[in-house]
Structure 1
Amino acid sequence: MPIVPTYPGVYVEELGSGVRPLAGVPTAIAAFVGYTARGLDNRATTIFSYADYEREFGGLAANSELSYSVQQFFQNGGGQAIVVRVPKSDGVAAQVNLKEGVANAAKVSFTLTATSKGDWGNGIVADVDYDGASASNFNLTLTDLGSGAVERWADLSVSTASPRFVEAVLNDPANGSRLATAKVPAASPGARPAESGIVGTDFAVTSTGITGLANDKAYKVRVTANRPSGPVTALEVTLIKQAETLPTSVVALARLLERRFNQALAAALPGAAVAVGVTGSGKALRIAPMFDPALLPAAVDTTLSLADSAPAGALAMLKLPAANFNVGRYRLGTGTAEAAQRNPVPGADGTQLPQSADVIGSPSAFTGIHALEKADIFNILVLPDATRASPGDPNALDTGLDPNAIYQAALDYCTKRRAFLLIDPPPTVNTVDRAFEWISSGLTVKGANAATYFPRVRMADPLNDFQLRTFGPSGAIAGLYARTDAERGVWKAPAGTDAQLRGVRGLVYKLSDSENGLLNPLGLNCIRALPVYGTLSWGTRTRVGSDVEASQWKYVPVRRLALMIEESLFRGTQWVVFEPNDEPLWAQIRLNLTTYMHGLFRQGAFQGQTPRDAYLVKCDKETTTQADIDRGIVNILVGFAPLKPAEFVMIRIQQLAGQAAS
């Protein structure tokens, strides 16, 4: 705001420089779409290592081509990936109903359902407690026994009027649970769910300890169980003093009980564990088994003795009649015999791997490749399931797939998102003759934003005693792209003696120089096994890179550099919208874009010895006429001289004849 001088003196005003730094976008974020053993269905999930993949999606699975492809990506230098899980079409998500507490045993409080299909959901358990929660509210702890992931959701409610409504909190797309979703019955829902575990009544704590302690050798604690009809006669816990200090607080008593429980259970259920915690007012015990109480032997004794000589009583306390509301933990998919959880639906992985329509997905439902609409940016798209081998024949294509349909939809989407598609050859393309036929007429997908590689690669399979298994090369190639971008820049061709494919033990077909020379002019990039150097990417042409097409986007690095510049300029010029369309704006645009292009020039991204030879940025009255101004349009012209790879190195040798002495 201009300064208005009102008194004699010196005034200081800061003026904007007009410089808006334009940052280049990343170039090697690879997106993978296909089936995984577990994970969120049709949701773009960003990972930064294969360890992240194992935590989110379950690691390697024999029937998941994507799991191996992601591993190969990181093995070859990839640093960031986005994974979209496409579930099996006949899979089932695990679920269980959580019943209301003592007041009304017949009503369902809400239903928990695993966030994705598959038998992995049967390993999710839920704990409910009221510790510190508002009246009629509850706390929910979800634990995935398979991955060890734990989520704690505090002060939830089954009331739609509450800001902590369980559906709204758990089902939030951005900040909700990654393990389970909640659904409260629309008609006649129940109140909050019953607490898990055996919940005791409050203790009276005095300065001398806990009221009810007997002598220094033994004392008794009463724990009241909840039933549909109300609290029942207290269960009597007898503690025999061992070589340890007697507890003087409820917290210390809880720890002692936990130790004694674990000692008693170790003999009956090796490896089992229970948790004993302090609940409610801080003066009550909640004993919650961390396993299915149905595993315990039948027992009706209500006296719990934790003496070393009588551990069996510990089992009796946890095995009350099914009519009691003493749920150990709510278990999705499997449930238990406890009254507070009912109607479990077992999670099932299914048998039908994703078909063409599943991989392509729906733009309106954001499924398949269109789930990437939720991702901010990706640069490389890999579809391992597009050429998945038949389960019964590793040399045949799965009959439920149409690679051309999948890749065409993917290429159209990549064009829209300024990304690059990697195309794998089908498993039937395993000789040079079949490769020639496939690239000439079998593969109908054409476009500058795609490249394809031959042959398929052979790599060790950790799930099969490290026997060699055949894979599409796109995962390893995507990792090579990322490695080359990081080491040399996106303008460097990801091919040559530096472009080794790590982890590759062999090829389905070993090409000769003459066979390479047959396929390269057709735009099919070859993978070669060369002595000393190993297995290399030995081609860098796009799907419009055949010699007869003479496309300006013939080479992969040229096209990917253009995509990077386009995306960077698109994101870096958003500030221009609604600015006054005149020379001051044009000058700012020229300044900022020239600074960005000159930075690329200094890194060696363009041809030419001077900036004038390497690039141009034009935005003035010649590019933007008065008619354009009247329509609210500003036109910017950016040009660059790309580096072309030295695909053919010609060496001429001449022998000099002997010269007569002068």
Structure 2
Amino acid sequence: MAQVSYPGVYIQEVPSGVRTISNVGTSITAFVDFFAEGPVNQATEVFGLSEFGRVFGGIDSRSEASYAIAQFFLNGGSSALVVRCHAASGPSPFSAATVGVRSVTNVATAPVLTLRAVSEGAWGNSLRAEIDHRTSDPTRFFNLTITRHASAAKDAPALLQEQHLNVTLDPSSSRDIVQVLAADSKLVRATVPAFPLPVPMPLAVGTLGGALPTAEPGLRTLLNSLRCVQPPPAPPAALVPRRLRVQLAAGLVFEATLPTWAADEVSTLQQLATRLQGALRVALDVSAAAAPTPPALTGATVSVVGNARLVVTPGRGDPARQLNDTLVFSDAGADTAATVLLLTAAATVNVASYPLGSALASTAAYATGTLGADGLAPGAAELVGAVADANDQGIYALRKADLFNLLVIPRAASLNDVQMRQVVQNSIAFCESRRAFMLVDIPESVNEVGEIKDWLDAHGNFRSRNSAIFFPRLRIADPNADYRLRSFAPSGTMAGLFARTDSDRGVWKAPAGIEATLRGVDALDYRLNDGENGTLNPLAINCLRVFPIYGLVNWGARTLDGADQTGSEWKYIPVRRLALMLEESLFRGTKWVVFEPNDEPLWARIRLNIGAYLNSLFRQGAFQGSGPKDAYFVKCDAETTTQDDRNKGIVNIAVGFAPLKPAEFVVIKIQQMPGDL
């Protein structure tokens, strides 16, 4: 009520009591299986096949769920939750690729920086790191470049690169490498041990020379002494260029010839670096070995660090020289250029890049880390076992997801019968607790009508109002096997079909019929006829059929609780999924009721809001009936909520709806018209 204090007009906004209830998503599909990379035991949402490839490595022949995800998006799916699992133990350990980098000041100590692939798997072995000190303060900050290659091979092409500039090992700095990578990197994470001040610097890649003079006249004297062999010949004789002996780690020996220049023509170390780089790239092979292919120093780079040091790297721009190649400088003949450049006695020789998970022997600069490995595919214990339940692993990682509607686990069909039962039964129970629906797959060996009947009889505990099964399995071209046809479980394809039908017609429309075509499917493991379809349909086995003109379609819409003998009210998939959508939408849309005064004004607002929501669904064709009274009801009054309920803080809301049942059997009666008698 407005507080009045002076004569005049007062404006007060009065709430209307209308709180909109919206439909929740109906086709967010969860996939649980082994994948090549990505977060482990964490429900990660992806919105397309390209994003799935970036995060989880794409289609992998070891992961049937990866094919199911591809089919899901192809058939109309738009949002998937992916959970990556792995076996707890086995002969192939599950590990992430790492590498350790030692300190500039003392390469004999333990690594001061350990880089680790962001997730476990062999994919991390394709990562390479480069560190340089080309920063405003090379005594405190360094730059880190992470490159992902197509494989761990030396000449593998680069796929992705990240650069993290001006970072430090100082944990008190805002540019702390651990924090920067955790926030910005999609490829690696960092570990830095505790150490006393001053904060160390990780060693840069390449050959790092000693400190050179930076002030006149020392710098001018150095640069002029390098312009030719000393002393220079008297004019007009030509200057004699200096020569450097450069040895590669592979044993190849090269001779680089510095170009000559006029006195005082080169006045900075950057100008010297440019000339030295040009000389290295055209260096001649003078070793006894055959000429290298490709030429070993064509990708060499020379840069200046802190305006006082030269850094020479052999591999940049030359993929074949990217891993453990090092450059060692010495004098060529009687020349003293290498000594003057301080690239011999005072130089630190290092690799061209730090390979994560490399099997190469450790060098003085870096420590070989753990080799990344994929481990073994998960079994029942990892997918839904008691340990997974306790630790939110496997399907229970979906507890942390806000919402999912369909659950797909193709790997369950490839497990032995005992493990398959454990996976499917626990998954169905989990779906019932989360108002979700599971698509159950059958083993590849079940490919005859008699076999599917016997299999379902033996697995009657799979029957649930929140599950469905489809027969037969699908034959799809495998892109990882020269597109040869391979048998796949239909759950991923059907989940995409469910999503497409929900989007086009609504969740109350059965995902079956001539519109329910199966995209990306080449054939079926078994081709059913009408008689066989008529045998399986009463048992709640949804049949996938091939019809002329229409092609491959889904020709069934029953839950596993929809066998004719059970007489279940949840016989049909669209009816059950509509009920699940209503339950979840009303659950989320009525939370405002909590702690409101439990009396008639509240009940009226509840009837208003839920009634408006159900009426909108009725107008979209979700319910049967000629009018709203025939289609649904909302009851919340003193009859549903007694005084005893109010004393206990309970408000009871009764909601009923008349669902549309699919026209499963169409009967057409035909008779001849009698003539004019």
Distance 1:576 1:515, change over 3 A: same
Structure number with bigger Rg: 2
Deviation at 1:119, TM superposition (A): 1.4
Aligned with 1:541 (options 551, 558, 582): 558
1:656 partner letter: M
Aligned with 1:196 (options 205, 211, 214): 205
Aligned with 1:556 (options 553, 573, 586): 573
Deviation at 1:202, TM superposition (A): 8.5
Could you say which residue in structure 1 is the equivalent of 2:365? 340
Could you say which residue in structure 1 is the equivalent of 2:146? 142
Identify which range, 80-89 or 185-194, moves more after superposition.
185-194
Could you say which residue in structure 2 is the equivalent of 1:639? 656
CA distance in 2, matches of 1:638, 1:191: 68
Aligned with 1:372 (options 389, 398, 403): 398
CA distance in 1, matches of 2:356, 2:8: 76
CA distance in 1, matches of 2:635, 2:148: 57
Task: Describe the SS at the equivalent of 2:452.
Answer: helix
Deviation at 1:95, TM superposition (A): 1.6
Task: Describe the SS at the equivalent of 2:50.
Answer: helix
Aligned 1:170-185 pairs, distance under 5 A? 170=181, 175=183, 177-185=185-193
Identify which range, 181-190 or 596-605, moves more after superposition.
181-190
Asked if structure 2 preserves the Cα contact closer than 8 Å seen for 1:322 and 1:338, the reply is no
Asked if structure 2 preserves the Cα contact closer than 8 Å seen for 1:618 and 1:636, the reply is yes
Deviation at 1:28, TM superposition (A): 1.2
TM-score (norm 1): 0.81
CA distance in 2, matches of 1:37, 1:322: 45
2:147 partner letter: T
Identify which range, 331-340 or 484-493, moves more after superposition.
331-340
1:114 partner letter: A
Distance 1:528 1:8, change over 3 A: same
Note the residue ranges of structure 2 that are not aligned, 5 or more in a row.
151-157, 229-238, 243-255, 285-290
CA distance in 2, matches of 1:80, 1:277: 48
CA distance in 2, matches of 1:625, 1:213: 98
Distance 1:75 1:107, change over 3 A: same
Deviation at 1:297, TM superposition (A): 6.8
Whether 1:40 aligns to 2:39 is yes
CA distance in 1, matches of 2:300, 2:495: 46
**Structure 1 residues 118-169: Cα deviation after superposition (integer angstroms, max 9, x where no partner):** 2111011223345357975655443322383444456655566666655566
1:51 partner letter: S
Deviation at 1:509, TM superposition (A): 1.2
Could you say which residue in structure 1 is the equivalent of 2:154? none
CA distance in 1, matches of 2:608, 2:310: 70
CA distance in 2, matches of 1:261, 1:627: 92
Aligned with 1:467 (options 460, 484, 500): 484
Deviation at 1:338, TM superposition (A): 3.7
2:394 partner letter: G
TM-score (norm 2): 0.80
Identify which range, 603-612 or 112-121, moves more after superposition.
112-121
Asked if structure 2 preserves the Cα contact closer than 8 Å seen for 1:65 and 1:384, the reply is yes
1:524 partner letter: I
Distance 1:638 1:212, change over 3 A: farther
CA distance in 2, matches of 1:79, 1:3: 50
Give the percent of matched residue pairs that are identical in Structure 1 and Structure 2.
44
2:384 partner letter: I
Could you say which residue in structure 2 is the equivalent of 1:227? none
2:366 partner letter: Q
Whether 1:384 aligns to 2:420 is no
**Structure 1 residues 514-561: Cα deviation after superposition (integer angstroms, max 9, x where no partner):** 111111111111111112211111111111111111111111111111
Deviation at 1:56, TM superposition (A): 1.7
Task: Describe the SS at the equivalent of 1:648.
Answer: coil
Could you say which residue in structure 2 is the equivalent of 1:20? 19
Could you say which residue in structure 2 is the equivalent of 1:392? none
1:531 partner letter: P
Could you say which residue in structure 1 is the equivalent of 2:424? 407
Could you say which residue in structure 2 is the equivalent of 1:505? 522
Whether 1:96 aligns to 2:99 is yes
Deviation at 1:446, TM superposition (A): 2.5
Task: Describe the SS at the equivalent of 1:404.
Answer: helix
Deviation at 1:491, TM superposition (A): 0.7
Asked if structure 1 preserves the Cα contact closer than 8 Å seen for 2:83 and 2:394, the reply is yes
Task: Describe the SS at the equivalent of 1:444.
Answer: helix
Asked if structure 2 preserves the Cα contact closer than 8 Å seen for 1:166 and 1:182, the reply is yes
Note the residue ranges of structure 1 that are not aligned, 5 or more in a row.
222-235, 305-312, 389-397
CA distance in 1, matches of 2:310, 2:55: 35
Distance 1:548 1:627, change over 3 A: same
Could you say which residue in structure 2 is the equivalent of 1:393? none
**Structure 1 residues 354-400: Cα deviation after superposition (integer angstroms, max 9, x where no partner):** 21112225133222112222322211111111113xxxxxxxxx549
Could you say which residue in structure 2 is the equivalent of 1:531? 548
Distance 1:517 1:5, change over 3 A: same
Q: CA RMSD in A?
A: 4.1
2:501 partner letter: T
Aligned residues: 617
Asked if structure 1 preserves the Cα contact closer than 8 Å seen for 2:214 and 2:307, the reply is no
2:187 partner letter: L
Aligned 1:595-634 pairs, distance under 5 A? 595-634=612-651
**Structure 1 residues 161-184: Cα deviation after superposition (integer angstroms, max 9, x where no partner):** 66665556655xxx5744333334
1:517 partner letter: G
Identify which range, 134-143 or 522-531, moves more after superposition.
134-143
Distance 1:260 1:53, change over 3 A: farther
Asked if structure 1 preserves the Cα contact closer than 8 Å seen for 2:26 and 2:581, the reply is yes
Whether 1:300 aligns to 2:311 is no
Deviation at 1:8, TM superposition (A): 3.2
Could you say which residue in structure 2 is the equivalent of 1:84? 83
CA distance in 2, matches of 1:253, 1:323: 17
CA distance in 2, matches of 1:270, 1:612: 85
